[in-house]
Chains A and B, each alone.
Chain A
Amino acid sequence: MNAVLATILKRLGLGIATLFVVSAIIFSSISMLPGDFGQSVLGQSATKETVAAFRKELGLDKPAPVRYFEWLGAVLKGDLGTSFSGRNASGQDRSRKVSDLVMPRLWNTLFLAGVTAVIAVPLALFLGLTTALYRNSAYDRTVNAATLTTISTPEFFVAYILILLLASLWPVFPSLANVDASTGLGERLYRVALPALTLTLVIVAHMMRMTRAAIINLLASPYIEMARLKGASRSEIILKHALPNAWAPIATVIAFNLAYLVVGVVVVEVVFVYPGIGQLMVDAVTSRDIPVVQACALIFAATYILLNLTADIIGIVTNPRLLHPR
């Protein structure tokens, strides 16, 4: 059991170290800003004093490592800084706290991703498992061709086709997924139907193909042939001989695709004008609102790292070689 614990701790440490480095990279992006940035945020008419005050507020007068640790400390306390937008040349400050901008939208994004995951993960595992079992059958070939096509298609293409069919020609669902804090759960589900469907189609394709490959790889092991030659039935082979060894690859597939979901959500939110964190980030990039961009990037990266970490840990705790050391 100690070997497992040690491996997990090592992996956790690595994850935290990665997160740390990633946060440093995201932070240092602000240092790469061109010198006249203050001017461009505040407008050409801003006085030297206002620009200087703005730079001081950003902490640009302090050395970078000091600023980094101050920023990191603040982030850990939930303070993500202040948005650039809402400022003007006169030095008047109507900007909002980044955390106030991000939090409600983060919840929206998690809701959309969650709905998608609930549909997509079981569906993909089912399709992946069945196509692996009946590989090279007509069923397998059809599913494969369909998913290969979906994978090669940009998310916005899938999204617009769905809009064309289900919102425009036959208006079943709304093409705009505008929700706010007051929207009830039923209404919310109805409005996110199309974005969730788009994401599901894209994710299922990826996840199903990876599951299929992992299972086929597993079924090619000599111990599976041995199980057959011991007279095990198809279901016994799958449940007793393949499954106990499949957790690690399956967990990796799921984590990888949920991580992919995190990225796919950006485009889909923009298409459906869904008030999520992805759309917020794109808007912030367009307006070069760096604190918001940083906050969003940090959240996306942390989610990504966390998912991969989880998959690795599942892989560790299901590995018999680690569970039962020599």
Chain B
Amino acid sequence: MTADPNQPGAPGDILLEMRDVRIDGFSDERWHPIIKGVDLTLRRGEVLGLIGESGAGKSTLGKAAMGYTQPGCKIVGGTIRFDGIDLVKARDAEKRKLWGTRIAYVAQSAAASFNPAHRLIDQTVEAATRRGIRPDADSRADAVELFRQLQLPNPETIGNRYPHQVSGGQLQRVMTAMAMSPRPDLIIFDEPTTALDVTTQVEVLAAMRSIVDEFNTAAIYITHDLAVVAQMADTIKVLRFGEEVEEAPTRDMLERPKETYTRSLWSVRALEKPEVKSEDIVLSIDHVDAAYGPFKVLHDVTISIPRGRTVAVVGESGSGKSTTARVITGLLRPEVGSVSFNGEPLPASLKDRSKDQLQRIQMIYQMADTAMNPRQTVFDIIARPLEFYLGLKGKAREDRVVELLKMIELDESFMDRLPSELSGGQKQRICIARALAANPEVIICDEVTSALDQIVQEGILKLLLRLQKEFNITYLFITHDIATVKAISDEIVVMHRGRVVEQGLKSEILSPPFPDYTRLLLSSVPEMDPDWLTDLLAGRESRDPA
């Protein structure tokens, strides 16, 4: 096989071959394995999806495919051959000749990965120009053409902008153009859409897929979202704890996953709570307008929450869902409108609310990490509301803490652990126990499962549902994830740019007729179907010929 870039090999030839690759990382003053012997084969023109939860080592493996390891990591064994070149043994200068020309990289955070000091076009053509793939002027013309193909607005001029002057979704597409500019044999996509909103994600995915198809580029697509990778990849490889779980062609993987672990990856999507209607309103938000200084974020928001049910508030970032929670808890004073609890108006400001009112409404946060004081033990954290609200002391308090720990499926051995000694799911459970300790009627859940891995999400959602049944607790569940909404809600509120688009029972909201925004939002959520994106784009085009 030849390493000459001017003579591309035939489609179907093996482009990248990794054998028994082992990588160690340095932390906590010692080396420990991150990748424990993984094989990977990629043919020309093939797209491989690498999927796994946080800590699975997928990003490390993706970068290793370029022969690159981050500072603090090292390849300790195995071989990596790219088109006949041994990347483990290759010197830096040799690898540099490949990087950016024959192997390109698309990073997760486009905003941080573009140099703030240079224009987009200069960064796009940098690699191609450096290696003299074609004259600089041709590269620039080609970049404009790529921008056009990626459906960037004003393809002629957008390259003259600086990174901070364009949006996140646009930057991610420019980065794809940058990767494609030297026409590489292989592109590594490292979670390129994770930071984007769902409606933006669809556009970026479509643009990336069409351009990879167009040039028949081989790619490794790294993500934690199975539905996303199903749209992009021909083959999917599942990683866990630095080892391969299984690898199969996309359709086989989705229809017939061999391993239990793989099935658990979409377990949340299988959860669905039957909805129950209720007219007994416990909490209502009436015609609320709210603003941060001069920036108005809520416009005439009205939501009513029935007792013992779950109301899911859905929307993208900036839709005002978290602000609504702040108004309910009294952290933000509404400009107009009011919040009533059990028919009584709640004072607008936190300071004016009674202890009893505070006790009845509790809150659970997205990041359990930052919601617990790292210097307090689990006992301190759960015991404080017991003492503060219920006046429990001594033995009674300790017994109640144990009881609460049992409720969240943990045991008393956890009592004197610090938050740093808990896993992500355990942390979120402790936060739930802290909220429960106050004997609340309403719990506001702000994206409580978004930061967790799929399998842990399922456990938390099941726990919340069980607690609701046992104690008739009402949830206001804020999320951007439709699968979670299906799993837990009775009613749904759709929010967009600070307004309520609609509120209703789950079955009503999730079935037609849809208001425009709800349709856009719902249709943008990737589904576990390799044809979803193709069908969606075809559908959108036929509806909207422009």
Q: In angstroms, how far is the closest chain B Cβ from the Cβ of A272?
A: 44
How many A residues, CB 8 Å from partner? 20
Partner of B130, one of A232, A241, A326: A232
B residues 330-379 in Cβ contact with A at 8 Å = none
Selected A-B contacts with CB under 8 Å, 25 pairs: A222-B107, A223-B112, A223-B113, A223-B114, A225-B70, A226-B105, A228-B99, A229-B63, A229-B68, A229-B104, A229-B105, A230-B99, A230-B178, A231-B97, A231-B99, A231-B127, A232-B130, A236-B130, A241-B115, A244-B117, A245-B115, A320-B117, A320-B164, A321-B164, A324-B162
Which range holds the interface residue count of chain B?
A: 20 to 34
Q: In angstroms, how far is the closest chain B Cβ from the Cβ of A228?
A: 7
Digit string of A226-240 for contact with B (CB within 8 Å is 1, else 0)? 111111110010000
Query: Does B131 belong to the interface (CB within 8 Å)?
Result: yes
B residues 157-200 in Cβ contact with A at 8 Å = 161-162, 164-165, 178
- B contact residues around A326 at 8 Å (CB): 164-165
Interchain CA distance A255-B131 in the complex, whole Å: 40
By beta carbon, the residue of chain B nearest A234 is B92
Task: Tell me the B residues contacting A by CB distance below 8 Å.
Answer: 63, 66, 68, 70, 93, 96-101, 104-105, 107, 109, 112-118, 126-127, 130-131, 161-162, 164-165, 178
Q: In angstroms, how far is the closest chain A Cβ from the Cβ of B102?
A: 9
By beta carbon, the residue of chain A nearest B122 is A240
Q: In angstroms, how far is the closest chain A Cβ from the Cβ of B82?
A: 14
A residues 197-233 in Cβ contact with B at 8 Å = 221-223, 225-233
Interchain CA distance A324-B100 in the complex, whole Å: 27
B96 contacts A233, CB within 8 Å? yes
Partner of A228, one of B68, B112, B165: B68
Task: Tell me the A residues contacting B by CB distance below 8 Å.
Answer: 221-223, 225-233, 236, 241, 244-245, 320-321, 324, 326
Partner of A223, one of B96, B100, B104, B115: B115
Q: In angstroms, how far is the closest chain B Cβ from the Cβ of A277?
A: 40
Interchain CA distance A91-B127 in the complex, whole Å: 82
Interchain CA distance A111-B97 in the complex, whole Å: 51
- B contact residues around A225 at 8 Å (CB): 70, 107, 113
Interface centre among B109, B113, B127 (most CB of A within 10 A): B113
A228-B68, A229-B105, A230-B99 given; A320·B116 CB < 8 A: yes
A229-B100, A231-B98 given; A222·B164 CB < 8 A: no
Interchain CA distance A241-B116 in the complex, whole Å: 9
Q: In angstroms, how far is the closest chain A Cβ from the Cβ of B185?
A: 14
- A contact residues around B116 at 8 Å (CB): 223, 245, 320-321
A226 contacts B114, CB within 8 Å? yes
Q: In angstroms, how far is the closest chain A Cβ from the Cβ of B528?
A: 31
Q: In angstroms, how far is the closest chain B Cβ from the Cβ of A2?
A: 16
- B contact residues around A221 at 8 Å (CB): 112
Interchain CA distance A174-B66 in the complex, whole Å: 61
By beta carbon, the residue of chain A nearest B115 is A223
- A contact residues around B164 at 8 Å (CB): 320-321, 324, 326
Interface centre among A223, A233, A321, A324 (most CB of B within 10 A): A223
